[in-house]
Structure 1
Amino acid sequence: MMRDAATFEPAESRVTKPEFWSALPARWTSDVEETLVCCQVRQETHDVKSFFFRSPEGRAFVFEPGQFITLELDIEGETINRCYTISSSPTRPHTISITVKRVPGGKVSNWLHDNLRAGARVRVLGPAGEFTCARHPARKYLFLSAGSGITPLMSMSRAHHELSEDRDIVFVHSARTPDDIIFSRELDLIAANQGNFRTSFVCERIGNRTNWPGITGFLTLPLLKLIAPDFMEREIFTCGPAPYMKAVRDLLDEAGFDRKQYHEESFSFETLIESEPDVAAEVLEAEGKAGANGHNGTADGAQTFAVSFSRSNRTIECASSQHVLDAARQSGVRLPASCTQGMCGTCKVKLVSGQVDMKHNGGIRQREIDQGMVLLCCSKPLSDLVVDK
């Protein structure tokens, strides 16, 4: 008589059902649980990887497609914050992913590609951001992306697909070569599953593909009219390098497109900090020289307060209508900063004394605020300040 083989399976070798399959998980928040575990690293293209994270406590991720998280990384003895758009869909709440392109000379992207492995723990802030189709419902969308700017639009596309929301979406992605197209196979799958989802890839050159059937060149207004003749009627979301987004704005302005229906990622984080670090340094230096030449940034009628930096023994003046970071730069004080919009947490410091009016966008935890931490980029003085910097 045959018996079920499972009868003879040793108890210690049995695979148990994960807890998150049998219970509704609590919502993840970085205020409660600041560290996530990397559970998978996926090679997308020759220089792009996706990193997947989960909550050690099994909490679920709740966010809007298109939002971002901020990684707090310790690299060579330095704490560095970087914002990365979430590439996964909120319909898969047990994991969250970012997709990172290796930037030549980029300190963070290269560190992630070379060092971050499954099992590693990373401190994370967020999610945050307003670049999301969830806040701009429309019958028809046009997604325009270039390079790694595809990630927020991929999150939006995945969400529509997995919710069986067959919205009229035209997704136009620009890449250097066909081999540089991120998520190409998955986008083809979504297009095959949803009758109203269409993709079009525009490549600068064919690279190693001798049989590339797609478009070669750059996105232009005549080309956009061929791909999406009704683009003037669509809600447009754009993300990519700053020159690409400017080119898109220019061609849409040429067409007379209503900017009320246009949305773009509000900062190009990696472009400024990683691929153009010298440019960023020059901008800061120029701002510092402007301050040294006597421009104090005060507005007419605004009260002026003293801001003292205890470690560097520097004191500057800052108007009540001015952000402390702006005043510091104008006075030649060099401070770490990246997004300058209260998102990334790079300019986070301890406020030793004084009060500020801070309006941040997710770059600081409530418990840190309770401990006296502030973000200088989005803080205006309400009194004289002493900063631990």
Structure 2
Amino acid sequence: MTAALSGSARRLRSLATRLTTPLLPDDYLTLINPLWSARELRGRIVSVTPEAEDAATIVVEPGWGWEFEHAAGQYIGIGVQIDGRFVWRSYSLTTPPSRDGHRLVITVRAMPDGFASQHLVNGVTPGTVVRLAPPAGEFVLPDPLPAKALFLSAGSGITPIMAMLRSLDRRPDATDGADLVVVHSAPDADRALFADELDLLGRRHPSWRVVVRHTRTEGHLLFPREGNPRAGRAPESSPRGTLEELVPDWRDRQTWACGPGGMLDEAEKAWADAGVADALHLERFAASFSAGAEGGTITFARSGRTVEADGATTVLQAGEQAGIPMPFGCRMGICHTCVAPLSSGGVRDLRDGSEHRVADTDQSTRTVQTCVTAAAGDCTVDL
């Protein structure tokens, strides 16, 4: 994946190319400093600090060409070399922009089947050089902040919300008297990220109310169902809590929610049933696929390989399974890093069922997102 360099970096690269031809500028730059690259954005891991029992906070110092500002709640792409190849993932930044802009902080939870996350939490060491992609994402706060706000999270979904809370904590002029409620769910105390800091923020700001729930003893948060007075209410003998009980005025609040797909689906339905869907802002860590495709033979033109894929396998997954170097970033159709030219045939977007097709008589190509599309019959991708 190649991230866009700043204008000044491109001009320097052009000059360096003329001076060093036939060698590339990177042949010289990386000998001086591995963080200097005219072709891609790089960074060096400064520290890896354990968080909870299966997570770590990673601080990255970006190298030459990083001139990007980010907003609290956005994410970056990070590429780490594992077994000789770079594996890319996207992670939310957990802090607002630093004053000098030279440090990026992410908190990663090691998923049981997470190839990259396991390595970042348990295998990567300070000094490791990584590749970077610029900040992206629309899960951000407005300015000014609404008078009443609700933050809902579960598991590692607290990471972008933590950035928001830290940003607000730095702006007492904007948050004095702001009515904020934070409801975070974690399996237990050992797996609750930022629990101490959340408690501190709640005590520091009298108008903030912070609730940390442990689902192994209290159960998962239940969402109300409009039109059914009993739905969403926990039995008296059950330890499970409801949003209605914790935040009775949730319908009146602008809400930012991030967490497992099931929780977000329930929240989306509750807000829609209440007629306040516009007040709910979601951040999903995975694409939601509701559509399907018929599948077919995918030909990767440059690699000279063909793959038989069913209608539930994305073009990106099919290429990776065939050992083809595939560009990708967020893997959920947001960052557009995975785009590739479709030169024949068609693919279907698994999010909404829309089809993208190149006619046999059409000599042009069209660009598709490989991470959210699957083969709709035989097709050829220029990778």
On whether the aligned pair clears a TM of 0.5, the verdict is yes
Deviation at 1:77, TM superposition (A): 2.6
Q: Which residue of 2 aligns with 1:129?
A: 137
Q: How does 1:18-167 map to 2 (within 5 A)?
A: 34-56=41-63, 62-92=69-99, 93-134=101-142, 137-164=145-172, 165-166=174-175, 167=178
TM-score by length of 2: 0.65
Contact 1:342 1:377 in 2 (8 A): no
Contact 1:82 1:344 in 2 (8 A): no
2:251 partner amino acid: M
Query: Which whole-Å CA distance do the structure 1 matches of 2:127 and 2:50 have between them?
Result: 17
Contact 1:148 1:240 in 2 (8 A): yes
Contact 2:150 2:250 in 1 (8 A): yes
* Aligned with residue 335 of structure 2, among 335, 339, 343: 343
Query: Which whole-Å CA distance do the structure 2 matches of 1:144 and 1:170 have between them?
Result: 9
Query: Which whole-Å CA distance do the structure 1 matches of 2:115 and 2:304 have between them?
Result: 26
1:343 partner amino acid: C
Contact 2:154 2:260 in 1 (8 A): yes
Structure with more helix by fraction: 1
Deviation at 1:326, TM superposition (A): 12
Q: CA RMSD in A?
A: 4.1
Contact 1:309 1:315 in 2 (8 A): no
Pair 1:31–1:154, CA change in 2 (3 A): farther
Q: Which residue of 2 aligns with 1:334?
A: 318
1:188 partner amino acid: D
* Aligned with residue 195 of structure 1, among 196, 200, 206: 206
Pair 1:43–1:66, CA change in 2 (3 A): same
Query: Which whole-Å CA distance do the structure 2 matches of 1:171 and 1:83 have between them?
Result: 24
Query: Which whole-Å CA distance do the structure 2 matches of 1:252 and 1:386 have between them?
Result: 41
* Aligned with residue 286 of structure 2, among 257, 262, 268: 268
Pair 1:35–1:260, CA change in 2 (3 A): same
Query: Which whole-Å CA distance do the structure 1 matches of 2:127 and 2:286 have between them?
Result: 29
2:55 partner amino acid: V
Unpaired segments of 5 or more residues in structure 1?
A: 1-29, 207-215, 273-279, 294-305, 317-324, 355-373
Query: Which whole-Å CA distance do the structure 2 matches of 1:106 and 1:128 have between them?
Result: 22
Number of matched pairs: 293
Deviation at 1:48, TM superposition (A): 1.1
Partner SS for 2:69: coil
* Aligned with residue 304 of structure 2, among 312, 318, 324: 312
1:79 partner amino acid: F
**After the TM superposition, which of the residue ranges 160-169 and 124-133 deviates more from structure 2?**
160-169
2:295 matches 1:291: yes
Unpaired segments of 5 or more residues in structure 2?
A: 1-36, 225-232, 234-241, 321-327, 345-366, 374-378
User: What is the percentage of aligned positions where both structures have the same residue?
Assistant: 28
Contact 1:240 1:268 in 2 (8 A): no
User: What do the CA deviations read for 1:143-201 (whole angstroms, capped 9, x no partner)?
Assistant: 00000010010000000001223232111001111222110111111112212221001
Q: Which residue of 1 aligns with 2:230?
A: none
Contact 1:326 1:377 in 2 (8 A): no
* Aligned with residue 216 of structure 2, among 199, 202, 205: 205
Deviation at 1:333, TM superposition (A): 9.4
TM-score by length of 1: 0.64
Pair 1:236–1:352, CA change in 2 (3 A): closer
Deviation at 1:247, TM superposition (A): 2.3
1:177 partner amino acid: D
